[in-house]
Copies of this chain bind each other. A is one copy, B any other.
């Protein structure tokens, strides 16, 4: 059973049309037809119900389409990681990080890495909260920086930084410093908050912030991205609570008021990772 056949199957399962699929994957309809037949024969499973006119997935085909799609994807990343292992110091390392620290600790961290390992390519990505574990587990990223402590046994986790929370207000806002921040004052503000990820300690700490003031925030806007939130604050759509790190983005038209609430940053990686430079990179990053 050739992986190529499975890819042909997935393409056909998507198009449900031999000619169009054949064109799209650059083989002839005849070849495609026989590849599918041979796949069906080897599996002992009819994948498509087809007559001379129409093609549709059989129930078993439907099942395998779903499963094969994710497994092939996983295999792809394994192969990529194997190539990285082979490449050694001249490979690529993929780091997922929250937007908030793009301008604070990331630049310093990256320059330290690239100074010590000049041949290493670094790829930066941002990963949605709910996908983070899966991405690290399946080798889609090699290092994961989170604001949440990790729960899985497959990962190691170390605290690398502690941020403060800050109130972010437009430049012309009456709030000047921490003295202005009282329950009464907060109660009259409109807030732009991050979407609340269930179980994320980051949104926890923001709730804790409000609870400590005994305030239920009036929030009509939620956004996943800090930079978007900042843009909205600048436009006067409300004020926000964000990690102090955003201060280093040096946006104009807004003011940060640091509060005594802390939020921590964790570096996560796979235990027993085989990436040849990871150990070196960790040595550079960890305190």
Contacts and interface: CB of A to CB of B under 8 A. Distances in A.
Given A68-B78, A83-B44, A59 B3 contact: no
A16 interface: no
Contact of A64 (B63, B64, B82): B82
Contacts of A45: 79, 82-83, 85-86
B1 A63 contact: no
A75 interface: yes
Number of chain copies forming the complex: 2
A98 interface: no
A131 interface: no
Nearest to A1: B3
Contacts of A2: 1-3
A43 B3 CA distance: 12
Contact of A43 (B61, B63, B74, B79): B79
Nearest to A62: B274
A59 B1 contact: no
Contacts of A61: 82
Contact of A74 (B58, B60, B71): B71
Interface string A23-52: 000000000000000000001111000000
Interface of A: 1-4, 43-46, 58-64, 67-68, 71, 74-75, 78-79, 81-83, 85-86, 274, 276
Contacts of A78: 63-64, 67-68, 71
A86 B58 contact: yes
Contacts of A81: 63
A45 B2 CA distance: 19
A46 B88 CA distance: 13
Nearest to A59: B85
Nearest to A82: B60
Given A1-B3, A59-B276, A63-B274, 4 more contacts: A46-B86, A58-B86, A71-B71, A71-B78
